[in-house]
Amino acid sequence: MKRLPLHPEHEARGAKFREFAGFDMPLYYGKPLEEHHAVRREVGVFDISHMGQFDLTGERAEDFLSYLLPGKVRAMQDGQALYAPMLREDGGILDDLIVYRYQPGHFRIIVNAGTREKDLAWMRSFTEEFGVRLEDLSADWCLLAVQGPRAFWLLERHLTTPPSALGYYTFAETEAFGQPVFLARTGYTGEPGCEIAVPVAGAQRLWRSLTGELGIAPIGLAARDTLRLEACMALYGHELREEWHPLESGLAWAVEMDGEEEFIGKKALRAIKGVGYSYRMAGLEATGRGIPREGYPVLRDGREVGRVTSGALSPTTGKAIALARVLREVAKVGTPVQVEVRGKPVAATIAPRPFYKNPALKA
């Protein structure tokens, strides 16, 4: 397994590790429940350096991304970020990623760790056609996420450009604790916060400034998963897969179907939309005793109508929650269903999403 550049720092903190996307990742440092609450109530820092980071340059970089992604790339302004799925010709989701625009000829792209090599190969297969250069920065940069209601307040005096000065889904090149960093007001927890990319050489200094000088609690993968589930943020390989298209995966909002821009997968999606599709993503809340887990069948009148993609006991609400891919006919909020938990049907209801929302997230 690969190790993060900050692996010794996590060991020193007593982290318990687990393999994820080929990396030996910190799962938790103490108690996952306490780490979850720390982010919801105060602040926490995640080492997400396993994520892939690419640098895209070239006169036709904007054309390149407009063809590969179904979002409004051309509408982006300098300093703006865009979330988008990347599709196959048949509309299947290769990955979901975030694009950051420096200028029309320069973008940074952050992708999922488990799909990094696949993404890189796919994207590079089009670089010659557009005359652009795609560089893999993944081994040279670390990425830390500082998330929670107190994140901005704690960081305010230590960043040349404080996160509170940035709009949601914008970024800046600035300094943190006296060293150059890439600062983005993005996150994966449903809380206010930012993500800070720093060259590997400066990662230890940044980590120790955050966890030592500021006393921010380090948070592992276990809490990261329950936080993102409460906020109904999709995880590739669970809610998003190659064999599923974005219209049924809850990402129709991230696809620009009506514009004149031609992108990979657009013809397939138009055809799918024309004939209709059977499934959609929905939220579930168990009302009976049992916790829905990934892969568990969702039932309606004794008939299987879908499968759970992610599920857990919500530390914030105290309820058993899940995301599930279900038939559209039962996806309406309030519809009673059952989840087969270890062979036994457990009462559940199609619930509104997200399960948790901090009103300050987009403030």
DSSP-derived secondary structure letter, 212: I
pLDDT mean over 244-250: 97
Output the pLDDT for position 363.
Answer: 45
Q: Are strands 2-3 and 23-28 parallel, antiparallel or unpaired?
A: parallel
- Tell me the CATH architecture of domain 252-351: Beta Barrel (2.40)
Place of tokens 């609690």: 217
Q: Which CATH class is domain 2-50+139-230?
A: alpha beta
DSSP one-letter string for 58-100: STTHHHHHHHH-SS-GGGPPTTBEEEEEEE-TTS-EEEEEEEE
Output the pLDDT for position 360.
Answer: 75
Of all residues in the chain, the percent with pLDDT exceeding 70 is: 99
Domain ranges of the chain: 2-50+139-230, 53-136, 252-351
Across the chain, mean pLDDT equals 97
pLDDT, tens only, 96-155: 999 999 999 999 999 999 999 999 999 999 999 999 999 999 999 999 999 999 999 999
Spatial distance between the Cα atoms of 76 and 298, rounded to a whole number of angstroms: 40
- Tell me the CATH architecture of domain 53-136: 2-Layer Sandwich (3.30)
